[in-house]
Each structure stands twice: as C-alpha cells, then as structure tokens.
Amino acid sequence: MCGIVGFIGKRACTDVLIDALKRLEYRGYDSAGIAIFEDDKIKTVKAKGKIKEGLVEKLKSEPIFTAVCGIGHTRWATHGEPSDVNSHPIGNGRVSIVHNGIIENYREIKSFLIGKGYGFESETDTETVAKLLDYYYEGDPIEAIEKAVGVIQGAYALGIIFREHKNKIFAVRKDSPLIVGKGKGESFIASDITAIIEYTREYYCLERGEIATLDENGIHFTDLHGEAIEKELFTADWDVESAQKGGYEHFMLKEIHEQPDAVRNTISPRIKDGLPDFGECGLTAEKLRAYKHIFIVGCGSAMHSGMVGKYLIEDLARTPVIVDIASEFRYRNPLVSDGDLVVIVSQSGETADTLEALKLSKAKGADTLAVVNVVGSSIAREADMVIYTNAGPEISVCSTKAYAVQVAFMYLLAFEVAYARGRIDEARCKELVNGLTEVPEKIQECLNDLSIYQYVASKIFNADSLLYIGRGLDNALSMEGSLKLKEISYIHSESYAAGELKHGTISLIEDGTPVIAVMTQSSLFEKMLSNVRTVKSRGAKVVAICRAAENLDADCADYKVGLPEADDLFLPLISTVAMQLIAYYTAVQRGCDVDKPRNLAKSVTVE
Ligand code: G6P
C-alpha cells in the first residue's frame, strides 16, 4: 500500500526521505520516488522496483542533493502499471504531489482539465489532482488546496509542494492515513509513525478538513478556510528496536516469538478481580445484555479472528454472532440496526473496506467497537468504543501476533458476554479467565523447540496444493493456518470443515497430497480420526496437530505436531503458533520473501 513521507529541516533531506521510505517498505510497494527543492526548482527522481535497486541506484547518477526539504513516496499500483512514469511524486514543475488513496472522479477531472489545455503523461488518478492544484493555484497554496479538495472525491492523503513556496510542505487528507511528526528543528509527514520514529516520537494526526503547513518555522494547522487550529500532540511509545528484527531472520519469526507477551499485553489490562472488564472503552455489562445482535467484521486475518469469536460467543453465551468480510458487508445492505453491536477488527485500523463497514454500521445506528492495534488509527478514531490490542508494531506483511491477540480478545469478549447474559456464573467466568491467562506460557512451550515445524516443513514444501481440516474451533483456527501458508509459501491451500470434505473437496486428494489435520477438541477427536483415515486411505500425507500425549496409529498420521496439555477451549489458540511456524519454515525452505510476499500489502487503504 502506498507510503508517504516528507521532511523539512536543516540537514540534507535525501537521506532522511530514503531512510523513511525504507521503513515503509513493509506496507508493500512496486515503485518509489522523491521530489525536493533544488535551487529554484522542484527536482524529481523516481523509479520502478525496490528502493535499493531502483530509486537509490538512479540517485547515484544524479547530482548530489543539498536540499533540506522534500516529499517521497512508495507506490502500490492501482491506476496504471508499476512504471517510472506512474510513480510518485507527480507534478508539472510548478506543483508536485505524493498521494495515497483513490480519486473516484478522476476521469471527470481529467476531461475537465484536458478541456483547459492540460496534458497527461501517466495513467494515474493522482496526476489529475496535481494538475487540478496547478489549475487553481494563483499564488496562494491554501486556496488552491481548498478548491481542489472541494472537487476531488474518494480517499486521499496528499503531500504537496509548490515551486514558488520553497521549503514548504502542505498536507491534507480524507480517509487515507497521514501523520505530521514534530522533531527538534525539523518536521515530517508520514503515512505512519514507523517511517519517522528514528527521528521523532511526537506526532499529530491530521484530520479531514485540516491542512498542515510545514516550513522552517515548524508546523502550522489551518482549516480549509485558512483559519488556524490547535491540535493534540501524541507520543508514540514504540521504540526503534521493537520496530526492527531483533536478531531474528525475519520479522515474521520475531513476531511469532513475541506472541506470549503480546497476548499478555492484550488481556491483562482487561482483567479486573479475575473477571473481564471493558470499562476503559465503555462496553458495560448492561450494554452487552441489551444488544440484539452481535456482528464481527474485518478482512483477512482480522475476519478469521471473528470466526473464532463466533464459535466462542455462540457456545458460551448462546448468542448468535454474524461474521462478515468487510468488503461484502458494506455492499449487501446488512441487517444491522439500532440496538446491535458491530465489532470491527483491524490490525492497522486503516483498511479501507473495514473503515467503510464501520461507517455504514454507525449510519445504521449500531454501536461500534473497534479492536485495533495501531493507536490513533482511522478506525480507532471513528468507532464509538476502542480496544487497543497492544501487540506492538507488526512489520511482516503476514499477520501473526496481531491475529493471536485479536483471538485472545475474542475469548475475553465471549466470557464477558456469557457472564453479562447470565449464561455462566462468576466462578465459571473466573475459571475461564484464569485459563486464558495461562495461554501465553503454553504458547511459549510451543516456541521452545522449533525442530518439529522445520521437519514438517521439509516434508510438505514441495507440494503444489494442500488442505487444512478441522472441526469446531479447530475449523475456525485452521482458516488462518491455511491463509498463512498460502500467503507466504505460494502453495495453494484450502481450509475445510473436516465433515464437509466428503461433499466435494475430497476429490482433490491424490497420492502424497499433504493434509494438515487440526485435532485439539476431545469431543470431536473420534470424528476427526475417521476423517483423517478417510483421506489417508486415498493417499494423503497427514500431519496431525494435537495434544502431545495423544497416541496416533500409523494408519492415521504420518507426522505429529504435539501441543502442550490445556483445556479444549484454549488449545486451538495455542495450535495457531504451530500453524504459523509450519507456514514460516515451508516458505523459508521454498526460498520465498517471507516478510514481503508477492502481490500483498500490509495495510490495504484502498478498496
Ligand atoms: C491485508 C493484510 C492481511 C490483513 C488484512 C486486514 O490484506 O495482508 O494480513 O489481515 O489486510 O488488515 P487489518 O489491518 O485491517 O487487520
């Protein structure tokens, strides 16, 4: 997903911009560029490909910059293929911009501007904004921005420079993220704090209808009419070290190992006297008793955490839960109304579809609860109530710890709904909460010896296709296990309810097809054994993920991944770690770019 940076200070800006752009690489991109003030001109250098091989190489053949102010961008192509010309910054020498988001009415704007004599070089929606700003510019940048944002529709975060306003950056946004960093004698704009945390921890969140002006005197905020406004300054408590790999080969592996702490950090602030407590965000027992329906909405791994939530809440609280993919939810006129609770789950808090699902839920009168990881993100700010999952920055595109903490939260939510609705008594609720607090230790046990995951990976890494099967909670958790494997190893993988296999998907099994059977639920164990035997007799190579103490016959599983002893309710959450590690080592053995899988973006801020 596109990344924006901008810098004004006293030192050479090129190094700062490149460094900040590299820190946004995790968002996924296919080209990068910068535009800086050099003498009385705007100089732009941009290139398709990775920053190191593309932009940095190109900069070597250009004169050395002494500029102190500029903007930069990593582009994730939406309108027009990845190419030098479609890369940002985009402009015409008088004005240059970097853009994240999608301009929905760009065709209309383009034909208007063509009618006014403008030519277009790129296929991007962004170029229409650059030229529109130029069209409106008559000497006052704020006035030009005000007019342009009155015309453009869609989502945008924009960093803008005007040749006639040397060493000044302007920023404006709607629906796409942008922060403004305040350093010592220098200022920044960035898509997120990770980009600039090396330089400052202090930042402002730019809101819709606000314009930030950054120059050598500091940062100045105005509304769209040029009236000055005061803004709250936030301080990021993430340290630089935690945003780096910390000795692990990949961020993904590091983040998998951070899960015991991450889960503790998520649950412990929400436990009071041994019971769940969501008082911090205003989600009271009274409210939980009164809600007519509970919806859980998200994308990707976040949605998968909702599937676990559904199983848990329905089982423990006997309350129906509707789980939906945000991109479907927002376009199918969902039956959400006043009196319902919509839980919006998102690691980044910026996913465009999820944000829109949230807005729709609010418009329909529902109470909204955001479960997000990034403090101050758009979804967190927009929702009625917020739970921060406290997992720390997740850099690997493939989500691991952020998913685990979302699931951990689902457990606590299920306990609280069940308790509030009188389905369990205080003693049982305390017992359940206590069980959850033991999960981090069990996850740690799974991390103490990694050899079994490496061994299993060595047996499956050559496969073209494989299946995950499970029942009950194992089915819900396997969806995520399968997604992990497919995301990073590029092996086709499907997760299937074990009992449903016989109605079609079993035809995919042939000699040697790996089947990963998740079998943690005692009450469903015998049923799973039958399913496993069925696939095995058709040639499947079975990897069973189950309690270490379980004795499996040779006619059943080829390989066993043993899990520590825990209650049936919690074992699926623990098994997640095993599935993540199998996916990780499989991808490593296939030589894949684990942290930056092809075609994927960490934060999908466009539809
Ligand atoms: C992208 C990421 C996924 C993530 C999904 C939702 O597709 O690659 O890992 O699960 O977005 O992201 P969110 O930030 O809303 O949880």
**Which position has the token pair 């469903």?**
524
For residue range 475-517, what is the model confidence (pLDDT) as tens digits? Answer: 999 999 999 999 999 999 999 999 998 898 888 999 999 999 9
Q: Give me ligand 1 centre to Cα 1, in Å.
A: 11
Q: Give me ligand 1 centre to Cα 347, in Å.
A: 7
Domains 3-242 and 448-592 equal at CATH topology level: no
Q: Give me ligand 1 centre to Cα 143, in Å.
A: 37
Atom of ligand 1 nearest to the CA of 600: 8
CATH (residue range 3-242): 3.60.20.10
Atom of ligand 1 nearest to the CA of 28: 8
For residue range 207-256, what is the model confidence (pLDDT) as tens digits? Answer: 999 999 999 999 999 998 889 999 999 988 766 655 566 668 899 999 99
Residues 367, 361: Cα–Cα separation, whole Å? 8
Using CA positions, which residue lies closest to atom 5 of ligand 1? 300
Active site residue 2: yes
Phi/psi at 548 (nearest 5 deg)?
-60, -30
Residues 345, 509: Cα–Cα separation, whole Å? 34
CATH superfamily of 245-437: Glucose-6-phosphate isomerase like protein; domain 1 (3.40.50.10490)
Q: Give me ligand 1 centre to Cα 18, in Å.
A: 25
Ligand 1: residue of 296, 603, 605, 607 to mutate (most ligand atoms within 8 A of CB) is: 603
Asked whether 2 and 74 are in contact (CB, 8 A), the reply is: yes
Q: What pLDDT shows up at residue 544?
A: 97
Q: Give me ligand 1 centre to Cα 411, in Å.
A: 21
**Any residues with Cβ below 6 Å from ligand 1, and which?**
298-302, 346-348, 351, 354, 397, 399, 600-604
Q: What pLDDT shows up at residue 1?
A: 65
Using CA positions, which residue lies closest to atom 8 of ligand 1? 602
Q: Residues of the chain whose pLDDT is less than 50?
A: none
Q: What pLDDT shows up at residue 392?
A: 81
CATH 3.40.50.10490 matches 448-592? yes
- Per-residue buried b or exposed e for 49-76, using 16+ beta carbons within 10 Å of the residue's own CB: bbbeebbbebbeeeeebebbbbbbbbbb
Please give the order of strands across the beta sheet that includes 559-563.
Answer: 492-497, 465-470, 514-518, 541-547, 559-563
Ligand 1: residue of 26, 604, 606 to mutate (most ligand atoms within 8 A of CB) is: 604
Q: Where are the domains of the chain?
A: 3-242, 245-437, 448-592
